Amino acid sequence: MKIAILTSDPQSIFWHRQDLADDFVKAKHDLLIISSGNEEWVDKFHQYGFRYKYIRLNRNGINPITDIYTFLDFIKVLKEEKPDKVFAYQAKAVVYGCWAANRCGITEVYTMLTGLGSVLRDNKKTLKHQLLSFILKRLYKNAFRCSRVVVFQNKDDQDIMINATSLPLNKTVLVNGSGVDINTYIHRSLPSTPTFLYIGRLVEEKESENILRRAKSLKINIKT
């Protein structure tokens, strides 16, 4: 069986989906990764037994012309490869990958939303933010119509998207996150000195600026 994994960021395969990809290869499936990137990634994926094709994809951009190229590239690769099943995660891979798979006659399409992102989660009242939120909800709604199952890792995200896109509950699955590979991230003893751990991305929406400011102040106070 040929399986295609669609993602907006090739590095995320090694960070979050390598166990899944390894299991596909061990089961003797022909695994293809379709993502952004360049020729350098081909050899890296090949080392793990994964085939890789890169397309034009700017995961953070909002230029509609660039996104049209992404959609057309997905169609081109999927037509050439004709996978039996498609698994897509991350926003643009879900939106344009699902549409492209549908255009290519692929019916076994499965998607995962690991988070909604700042566009859908923030309550900003600016016209730009409201417009982007409206467009993204419509894009997801159309993508979900092309998917057999939509997997969520967060109950709140599941509820929000069901309400925002009229997604049927029986078409969704709720899982307990991606987990952590304890063979890679080995258990270690806690440090003997007072230590503060922040788990999250350093982005404005998560108040990272305040966290960094408090951390800097705390570090100065401890030294003095």
Kindly write down the DSSP assignment for every residue of 17-41, as one continuous string: IHHHHHHHHHTT-EEEEEES--THH
130 Cβ neighbours under 8 A, 6+ residues apart: 124
d(CA 161, CA 140): 9
Greater pLDDT, 63 or 222: 63
Q: Is-contact 126 43, C-beta < 8 A?
A: no
User: In this model, does residue 40 exceed pLDDT 70?
Assistant: yes
Helices (H) and strands (E) in the chain, counts: 9, 7
User: In this model, does residue 159 exceed pLDDT 50?
Assistant: yes
**pLDDT value for 11:** 87
- Tally Cβ neighbours within 10 Å of residue 223: 6
**Predicted confidence band at 224 (pLDDT cuts at 50, 70, 90)?**
very low
* Continuous H helices in 122-207: 127-145, 155-165
**Predicted confidence band at 30 (pLDDT cuts at 50, 70, 90)?**
very high
Q: Is-contact 73 86, C-beta < 8 A?
A: no
Mean pLDDT over 173-181 rounds to 85
Sign of CA dihedral 127, 7, 173, 140: positive
Tell me what percent of the residues of the chain surpass a pLDDT of 90.
51
150 - beta bridge partners?
A: 111, 172
